[in-house]
Amino acid sequence: MSAEGRSKPKPQLPERSSMNAWVHIDTGLVPGGGKSLALMQKGDEFSIVVDAIELMNSTRGTSEEALAALTCERLSHTPAPRVLIGGLGMGFTLRAALRTLGPQAEIVVAELVPAVAAWARGPLAQVFGGCLDDPRVHLCEADVNRLIQSGAAGWDAILLDVDNGPEGLMRRANDRLYDTWGLKRVQWALKPGGVLGVWSGTPDRKFKARLQRLGFAVEEVRIPASGNSGPRHVVWVATQGAAAAG
């Protein structure tokens, strides 16, 4: 990974008594995208921002947790599931997957931005709560597309929480995850009957229809960002081959 994508060292965090406003903690560049992510802190709350738009917040992860729970519960009869998560974020999806899956599961997390991976063990360590040290977890600093294309029928489930969903904000190359050819690559990478879970900041009828045309059985769930309040995000849970079988 090139040095330009790595987080630059910043001064130590301010004392808690001064944490009454948002403080810029660090910046990380998105490889190949030209945009930068800013890690912000206010007291115990953290936010990751791009172009003045908040991508994620440490106090609002209900929908990301639902992505993992709704997808991984479909694997309850799989003795040793292999799960690929695209996007580390603040670890909400990973932690929920660990709670849902059994001790024999293998979870590979692909994170494109080196700074995000570094923050997980640095300023966001308390948010992550040691989940990266779970022996079931492997963190890979890579484009999730590369892992999807690494082998046929390799995954029981693939969870995508990348760049705000099908209508991305950061990187045009992420579109190839969600277009028809990208979804065909996902089908190739999933085991028979495998499950694809996709998180999105907004509804997308065209994306749902694209999944259905490819033969996925699709469940769409709209979930508040935090508890029962805030904007509603969308999770699609798509089961491979189930539509055709039905």
- State residue 186's pLDDT score: 97
Q: How far apart are CA 153 and CA 186, in angstroms?
A: 9
The pLDDT tens digits for 114-143 are 999 999 999 999 999 999 999 999 999 999
Contacts for 186 with CB less than 8 Å, ≥ 6 apart: 148, 158, 196
Q: What would the mean pLDDT of 169-188 be, rounded to a whole number?
A: 83
Q: Kindly report, residue by residue over 37-58, the tens digit of the pLDDT.
A: 999 999 999 999 998 889 999 9
| pLDDT given at position 244 | 45
Q: Given this model, what pLDDT does residue 11 score? A: 38
Report which residue type is found at 242: A
The pLDDT tens digits for 184-196 are 999 999 999 999 9
Q: Which fold has domain 62-245?
A: Rossmann fold (3.40.50)
Query: CB–CB of 27/118 below 8 Å?
Result: no
* Mean pLDDT taken over the chain: 88
Buried b (16+ CB within 10 A) or exposed e, 211-230: beebebbbebeebebeeeee
pTM over 0.85? The answer is: yes
Percent of the chain with pLDDT over 70: 87
Does the pLDDT value for residue 9 go beyond 60?
A: no
Look at the alpha carbons of 236, 69, 151, 89 in this order and tell me if their dihedral is positive or negative. positive
**Domains of the chain: which residue ranges?**
3-57, 62-245
What are the phi and psi torsion angles at 147 (to 5°)?
A: -75, -35
What are residue 233's DSSP bridge partners?
223
How much is the pLDDT for 226?
Answer: 77
Residue type, 221: V
